[in-house]
Amino acid sequence: MSVDPLILDWLRDSDPSLRWQVERDLAGEPAEVWQATRARVATEGYGAALLAQQGPDGQWEGGAYFPAAFFGSPESEMPGQPWTATTWTLKDLREWGVPASALGDTADKLDRHSRWEYDDLPYWGGEVDVCINAFTLGTGAWLGADVSRLAQWFPEHQLADGGWNCEAEEGDSVRSSFHSTLNALRGMLAYEQFTGDTALRDSRRRGQEYLLERRLLYRLSTGDLVGPFVTQFVYPNRHRYSTRRARPLPRGIPARRRRPRRATVGRRRPGAGRAAARRDVAPGSRPRGAPLVRRRRPRGAAVALAHVPRAPRAAVVGCRSVTASRRFGGVTVNPLLPSVYDVVWSLVAVIVVALAVVALVSLARAGRGFTSVQALAWVLVVLFVPVLGPVAWLAVGRRAGLEGRPDSRT
């Protein structure tokens, strides 16, 4: 896989948290090179800056998922959230390659001081949201916290189709979500890699099957692209699904691949299965069992290129790409290529314009046999009556014009 040298140099000239991933996945540097760069993340640049912001209680911004002063503030009325609280900061540090030793006794501090905004639950026990629990599972395993009970939560809440959905906990959906499923799989894979515990392997394989059966991109029911988000590569991705984020999964324990099949169920209702339900409430603001307050997700995110796994079929540079094409009805279909419908109409437009041009050129040559009013009339017909106008001129008008020319009379 070749990368433009100018782009590669630009990516190398970056923070160590990004540079080591570029060296490993794009430049193909030896392990000792990118590992040396990764070792600098905790003491330089963004990694060091985030570590310096940790509070005495082990948290960032004084909150588990949201900053302590978020609810009731003007910022809470805006789309999304600051993404600066404990869960998000630890997720970034872990994915940047910071060693757990750099966090000291953070796991113990969070066990003593951090509570989820949802029902004031203890931090390492997780809550009801699949994505939040997935981030917590991976981070807890990384830091050495006891998250064994949280690990059991995932098989217990796995849906019948093999995946997960944040909306399922409130009965809003019985179908899995690409977003929630991928976050669950990444958290479970991190748990196995950090702890060596293989208890979640069968559950994770079922979840991988959910995505592989849909070829990481498509709806099982219709064969359509599940949504534009699958080929929009953004960083930090937060909770979003993309094919780039799904690519590392087979590097773990590969699932048994099945041939994709068409489902017999009808189209799913609009919005079902999306991981748009990031729910949470301020502590003490809701009686147990009352409806949850819906979190609003950000409408956009800064685009960048971070850890890009080796993917021979993927376009690496650029914000929109696809990792594979699909065969449907014997024809290879790529979302980046125009559909047959668009091609046909483009050809029709070219033919219409070409006919008009040929007719106007012919009119200029043969129009001397008409009066100025007749010539103007023919021009208007050619221009404002597509196809029929030029054809009428070429079939009838042109002959009459030639016969009426002075040099054609005896």
The residue type at 97: G
Q: Could you report the per-residue pLDDT of 137-158, keeping only the tens digit for each?
A: 999 999 999 999 999 999 999 9
Rounded to the nearest integer, the mean pLDDT of the chain is 79
Give the end of a domain, one of 280, 314, 333: 333
Could you tell me if 64 and 189 lie in one domain? Answer: yes
CB-based contacts of 329: which residues, under 8 Å, 6+ apart?
none
**Residue 340's pLDDT band (boundaries 50, 70, 90)?**
low
Q: Could you report the per-residue pLDDT of 47-94, keeping only the tens digit for each?
A: 999 999 999 999 999 999 999 989 999 999 998 899 999 999 999 999
pLDDT at 373: 83
Give the end of a domain, one of 333, 365, 381: 333
**CA 119 – CA 116 distance, rounded (Å):** 7
Q: Would you report the helix, strand and coil content of the chain in percent, each value rounded to 5?
A: 50, 5, 50
Could you tell me if 218 and 286 lie in one domain? Answer: yes
Could you tell me if 256 and 126 lie in one domain? Answer: yes
* Cα–Cα separations (whole angstroms), residue 298 to 29, 142, 295, 340: 36, 27, 10, 35
Could you tell me if 241 and 118 lie in one domain? Answer: yes
Could you tell me if 97 and 235 lie in one domain? Answer: yes
Domain that holds residue 329: 41-333
Verdict on whether the full-model pTM lies above 0.85: no
Q: Could you report the per-residue pLDDT of 219-250, keeping only the tens digit for each?
A: 999 999 999 999 998 888 889 999 988 876 65
Dihedrals phi, psi of 75, to nearest 5 degrees: -65, -30
Could you tell me if 367 and 263 lie in one domain? Answer: no
Give the end of a domain, one of 306, 333, 360: 333
pLDDT at 367: 66
Q: Could you report the per-residue pLDDT of 159-175, keeping only the tens digit for each?
A: 999 999 999 887 878 89
Lowest mean pLDDT among 16-25, 129-138, 270-279: 270-279
Q: Could you report the per-residue pLDDT of 297-336, keeping only the tens digit for each?
A: 333 333 333 333 333 323 222 222 222 333 333 333 344 4
pLDDT at 308: 31
DSSP code string of 288-337: TTSPPPEEPPPS------------TTS--SSSB--S--EEETTEEE-TTS
Q: Report the pLDDT averaged over residues 265-270.
A: 36
Question: Which structure tokens are listed for 41?
Answer: 């993340």
| Secondary structure (3-state) at 218 | strand
**Residue 194's pLDDT band (boundaries 50, 70, 90)?**
very high
pLDDT at 206: 96
Q: Are 127 and 162 in contact (CB under 8 A)?
A: no
